[in-house]
């Protein structure tokens, strides 16, 4: 139980284009989903917290107009990187949490984004 999937697992895009990453909780309803960014050999950096049906809360320094987050249902959240630049290249990981799972947080497998 408590499986989170992400799609795609890796993506290459050109500068200036937009990329959408999906995060799904497969066997539970996630009241809250989180989006993280991870640079090589570093810890996870929280980008934003999203609750189903409401606007995401972004961490300081994260541009909400660049990283659009939509949590449309209890099993799906999307992160769209708009007008991507090479410096947006990174490993993006989502996680999901449910009160029914004692608020334990389960992570997706990550999406490797490369912007050329």
CB neighbour burial string for 32-49, b if at least 16 within 10 angstroms, e if fewer: bbbbbbeeeeeeeeebbb
Tell whether residue 49 is a contact of another protein (CB under 8 A): yes
Choice from 18, 109, 114, 116 touching another protein (CB under 8 A): 109
User: How many Cα atoms sit within 13 Å of 14 on the Cβ side?
Assistant: 0
Count the site residues for another protein by CB under 8 A.
31
Q: Which has the closest alpha carbon to 75: 53, 91, 55, 57?
A: 53
Q: Which stretch binds another protein (CB under 8 A): 12-20, 63-71, 78-86, 90-98?
A: 90-98
Contact 96, 29 (CB under 8 A): no
The tokens for 106 are 């389960």
Quick note: the x/- pattern for another protein over 58-87, rule CB under 8 A, is: -xx---------------------------
Asked if 89 is part of the footprint of another protein (rule: CB under 8 A), the reply reads: no
Summarize as ranges the residues that interact with another protein (CB under 8 A): 2, 4, 6, 31-32, 34, 41-46, 49, 51, 59-60, 91, 93, 95, 97, 99, 102-110, 112
């Amino acid at each position: 139980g408590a499986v989170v999937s992400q799609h795609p697992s890796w993506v290459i895009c050109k500068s200036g284009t937009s990329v959408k990453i999906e995060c799904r909780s497969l066997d539970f309803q996630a009241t809250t989903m989180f989006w993280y960014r991870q640079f090589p050999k570093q810890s996870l950096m929280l980008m934003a917290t999203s609750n189903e049906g409401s606007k995401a809360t972004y961490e300081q320094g994260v541009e909400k107009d660049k990283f659009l987050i939509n949590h449309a249902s209890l099993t799906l959240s999307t992160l769209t990187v708009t007008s991507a630049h090479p410096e947006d290249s990174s490993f993006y990981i989502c996680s999901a949490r449910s009160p029914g799972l004692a608020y334990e947080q389960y992570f997706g497998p990550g999406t490797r984004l490369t912007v050329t």
